[in-house]
Amino acid sequence: MPHAFDADTVTAVLRHMNSDHTDDNLLIARAFGHPSAVGSVMIGFDGDGADWDVTDAAGTSSPLRVPWPGAPISERSEVRREVVALYDAACAELGVDPRPHA
């Protein structure tokens, strides 16, 4: 059974991803199964991967589950590392130059 993060951690990560990284969410959706996505919202994650709700141009919503590259994880600090790894992999898949990471 994958590690379940506490509610405060999940809420904080989702708030951050869906307010500060909307373009990253869309890039991940396009790279990992929904190339024509026009919207993507991170809706959850656990120790094995993350979930997005992806929308196409017709307004149809579809789930997307992407495993963490370094799964399994169990620490809050590992979530950022794995999201960055997914972002970098998405950029590589789509031929996009990734921005530098702080």
CA gyration radius for the chain?
13
Question: Does the residue 101 lie in any domain?
Answer: no
| CATH code of residue 53 | 3.20.180.10
- 32 inside domain: yes
User: Which range of residues forms the domain containing residue 36?
Assistant: 7-90
Asked whether the predicted pLDDT for residue 101 surpasses 90, the reply is no
User: Residue for token digits 């869309």?
Assistant: 26
pLDDT at residue number 62: 97
- pLDDT tens-digit profile of 73-96? 999 999 999 999 999 999 999 999
Of 38 and 101, the structure prediction assigns the larger pLDDT to: 38
Structure tokens at 68: 């963490």
Distance of CA 78 to the CA centre of its chain: 13
Paired strand residues for 64: 52
74 contacts: CB under 8 Å, gap ≥ 6 = 3, 47
- Name the average pLDDT for the chain: 96
pLDDT tens digits for range 41-79: 999 999 999 999 999 999 999 999 999 999 899 999 999
In a domain, 28, yes or no: yes
| Cross-strand bridge partners of residue 41 | 53
Residue 102: pLDDT above 80? no
Confidence band for 28, pLDDT divided at 50, 70 and 90: very high
| Within a domain: 95 | no
Q: What residues contact 50, with CB distance under 8 A and at least 6 apart?
A: 42, 44, 65, 66, 68, 82, 83, 86
- Give the chain's domain count: 1
Q: Is residue 99 part of a domain?
A: no
